[in-house]
Structure 1
Amino acid sequence: MSIREELIVPKCYYPWETVQSPIANAFDEEEKEWYDNDYTFISEEGIKRCKPQFLSRVATYMNPTCKSIDLMRPCARLMIYITIFDDYFGITPRDELQVIADRVYEVMMGDEPNPDEIGILRQMAQARKEWLANGMPQFWIDRVSINFYEFIMYGMAEEIPFRQVENRTYPLLAHYLSFRKYSIGMWPYGDLIDPATDSPLPVHLYNHPIVQRCREILSLVIVIQNDFASIKKELEIESESLNIIFILSNQYNLSYQDSCTEAMKLHDAYCQELDDLHKSLPDFGEFQELVYDHIQHIKLQISGCANWYYNSGTNRYEPKGFIVPQYGREGDEIVIPHSVFVKK
């Protein structure tokens, strides 16, 4: 029996509740329209792969206390466009990715996409308008824009050397976590707590080291969650190295099963740290309840994301679930139109 047949991937559990969203499937039909109207740079086959992933449900599952369709709609847009961005531009060279990141930042901060620019920018601009219409302050727009930029340049760009099919290499665990905590997208995902709860966290509270550590733990836990969820698919990809199970196996000469055990130990330690920090927050004065509630929603994002993996019906982690990264490819998908990101 092969390693693949014998591997038992552990399931993630949490010492806090999992809340069910009252609007969990609210955007199932709308997101199909978004794909058809603004994701036409993906091939027809690529769009077919996207629709059964239920990416809009990531927003509702991870922000399960939100009952407002209007508050959640731009969050659902972000969940989709950050995921498709990562899939589609995952092997783009760093210098070209820099150009794209700069343009994304401009649009998220207020610049309007040109008519001939790629449709994903229209989704970003529309989300920004909806957040502003729902009362989100400019300092929060600044925050999510910066965090999206860092997702691209501190995360995706740092993965490029390990995405070379002809030269499979593994980062060390510490290095992997240093960039994967950005490329997993959880810094901007975590920002969605503010609009989903209609409670923007002031800058001085957001910058507090305890809050920043809790946000970092959110990212690190979801890295491991995601790697468990995608391991079945990634075992089939001969060149894949960016999964904590592969990395632990390579670095410490472990079986994949023992690597799963070690990864879960790390996952559980992060969760315990988050729970401990939440229970022992420093004195935030008049903002105590606001900060406590924000950290509570970080925890709900973690358990909500696991709930999405296990119970949403997504087919994202099945064979051919992802769209094909496009740099330099021809055939079943179109080549990335990088030039549309460059202002004439």
Structure 2
Amino acid sequence: MREELIVPKCHYPWPTVNSPVANAFDDEEKDWYDEDYTFISEEGIKRCKPQLLSRVATYMNPTCDSIERMRPCARLMIYITLFDDYFGMTPAKELKTIAERVYDVMMGEDPEPDEIGILRQMAQARKEWETFMPRFWIDRVAIDFYEFIMYGMIEEIPFKQAEKRTYPLLPHYLSFRKYSIGMWPYGDLIDPATNSPLPVFIYNHPLVQRCRELLSLIIVIQNDFASLKKELEIESESLNIIFILSHQYNLTYQEACTEAMRLHDAYGQELNDLHQSLPDFGPFQQQAYDHIYHIKLQISGCANWYYNSGTNRYEPKGFIVPQYGREGDDILIPHSIFVQK
């Protein structure tokens, strides 16, 4: 008899706050798909719309009640997610070129008419932010998106393209997965959502950077729990902490779930402790404290989205098929080429 695998549910020693504008972009995002994501097949778009990706922005930034401030954040939540889905199998050399083009657009260049539509969404979000966010913050989110590709997605490619399943060691996995999960740019969204750009000297402080790293590490485990059911059905999949713990330490999947949750809870406790241990930031003390508070709300808000938003992202056939998808994939997405400058 096949034993049932019980996947634990994530809990946190801080509140889960519900957004007053949680579903505000449900209709708008459908228009964004139809206008700017036409490089995905018609069937692929049908898969995207029920994922309710714009709600990730509102659930993770639940104190924001401004549609204008939240709109570019919702755009980012969609374009970073689908960027990862679509380009996840793209060869590293080509992906580096794409990363440079993404950085240019996020720093101020407008995409050409024949460039892939996802760049138009990036440019539009940047223009919306430019109306109320300082330049140093826009530079920050551009760099963090670039590193998401360079230090995260590209580092995953050898494992995704291996002929047989290959596992990284746990420290190696966490070193690149903390970037590829996308939480460095997601964390940047606290600033526009709260209308409170974090000064550079606070942002760069090692304690604040560790809190941002903990945001990423916690969401890595949270996401791996959420996607486990789906990934158990993918024979070649290795990039899930449950698979890695099981392989590295010879654990059953149930034992690996227990160990992953132990790590998850330890990271959560560390974040909670650091929040109570901030250095003296002078007149910016409350702003720094509020920023770390919102990091915590992003974590519990993301769990709230997984469990309560109604998304079907982690159901069978929930993802689009990537560029360079494996032979036999049931949806074909036309190859889209970035304009070479």
State if a TM-score over 0.5 links the two structures: yes
Residue 342 (structure 1) shift: 2.0
Distance (Å, rounded) in 2 between the aligned partners of 1:241 and 1:334 = 24
Q: What is the aligned partner in structure 2 of residue 54 from structure 1?
A: 52
Q: What is the aligned partner in structure 2 of residue 163 from structure 1?
A: 160
Aligned pair 1:82/2:80, yes or no?
yes
Distance (Å, rounded) in 2 between the aligned partners of 1:334 and 1:52 = 19
Q: What is the aligned partner in structure 2 of residue 65 from structure 1?
A: 63
Which string of whole-angstrom CA distances, capped at 9 and with x for unpartnered residues, describes residues 133-178 of structure 1?
Answer: 1x10010000000000000010000000100252210000000000
Task: Give SS of 2:161's match.
Answer: coil
Match for residue 96 of structure 1 among 94, 97, 101: 94
Aligned pair 1:268/2:261, yes or no?
no
- 1:235-314 superposed matches below 5 A: 235-314=232-311
Total equivalences in the alignment: 339
Q: What is the aligned partner in structure 2 of residue 30 from structure 1?
A: 28
Match for residue 316 of structure 2 among 316, 319, 325: 319
Distance (Å, rounded) in 1 between the aligned partners of 2:271 and 2:339 = 39
* Equivalent AA in structure 2 for residue 303 of structure 1: S
Match for residue 176 of structure 1 among 150, 173, 182: 173
Please say if residues 41 and 334 of structure 2, whose CA atoms lie closer than 8 Å, have aligned partners that are also in contact.
no
* Equivalent AA in structure 1 for residue 128 of structure 2: E
Residue 328 (structure 1) shift: 6.0
Q: What is the aligned partner in structure 2 of residue 114 from structure 1?
A: 112
TM-score by length of 1: 0.97
Taking only the aligned residue pairs, the percentage that are identical comes to 81
Residue 333 (structure 1) shift: 1.6
Distance (Å, rounded) in 2 between the aligned partners of 1:328 and 1:268 = 35
Distance (Å, rounded) in 2 between the aligned partners of 1:305 and 1:336 = 32
Please say if residues 114 and 339 of structure 2, whose CA atoms lie closer than 8 Å, have aligned partners that are also in contact.
no
Please say if residues 327 and 335 of structure 1, whose CA atoms lie closer than 8 Å, have aligned partners that are also in contact.
no
Match for residue 190 of structure 2 among 183, 190, 193: 193
Match for residue 16 of structure 2 among 15, 18, 21: 18
Distance (Å, rounded) in 2 between the aligned partners of 1:227 and 1:23 = 27
Match for residue 206 of structure 2 among 209, 223, 227: 209
Residue 334 (structure 1) shift: 2.4
Distance (Å, rounded) in 2 between the aligned partners of 1:284 and 1:319 = 48
Tell me: CA distance 1:29–1:75, structure 2 relative to 1, closer, same or farther (3 Å).
Answer: same
* Equivalent AA in structure 2 for residue 304 of structure 1: G
Match for residue 44 of structure 1 among 35, 42, 45: 42
Distance (Å, rounded) in 1 between the aligned partners of 2:38 and 2:178 = 29
Distance (Å, rounded) in 2 between the aligned partners of 1:297 and 1:336 = 39
For structure 1, the residue ranges without an aligned partner over 5 or more in a row are none
Distance (Å, rounded) in 2 between the aligned partners of 1:301 and 1:341 = 35
Please say if residues 40 and 119 of structure 1, whose CA atoms lie closer than 8 Å, have aligned partners that are also in contact.
yes
Q: What is the aligned partner in structure 2 of residue 219 from structure 1?
A: 216
TM-score by length of 2: 0.98
Task: Give SS of 2:254's match.
Answer: helix
Between 28-37 and 327-336, the greater mean CA deviation after superposition: 327-336
Task: Give SS of 2:304's match.
Answer: helix
Which string of whole-angstrom CA distances, capped at 9 and with x for unpartnered residues, describes residues 237-256 of structure 1?
Answer: 00000000000000000000
Match for residue 229 of structure 1 among 221, 226, 229: 226
Please say if residues 62 and 302 of structure 1, whose CA atoms lie closer than 8 Å, have aligned partners that are also in contact.
yes
Please say if residues 328 and 335 of structure 1, whose CA atoms lie closer than 8 Å, have aligned partners that are also in contact.
no
Task: Give SS of 1:265's match.
Answer: helix
Tell me: CA distance 1:42–1:187, structure 2 relative to 1, closer, same or farther (3 Å).
Answer: same
For structure 2, the residue ranges without an aligned partner over 5 or more in a row are none
* Equivalent AA in structure 2 for residue 59 of structure 1: A
Residue 336 (structure 1) shift: 2.6
* Equivalent AA in structure 2 for residue 284 of structure 1: F
Aligned pair 1:332/2:331, yes or no?
yes
Distance (Å, rounded) in 2 between the aligned partners of 1:182 and 1:91 = 16
Please say if residues 99 and 341 of structure 1, whose CA atoms lie closer than 8 Å, have aligned partners that are also in contact.
no
Task: Give SS of 1:40's match.
Answer: coil
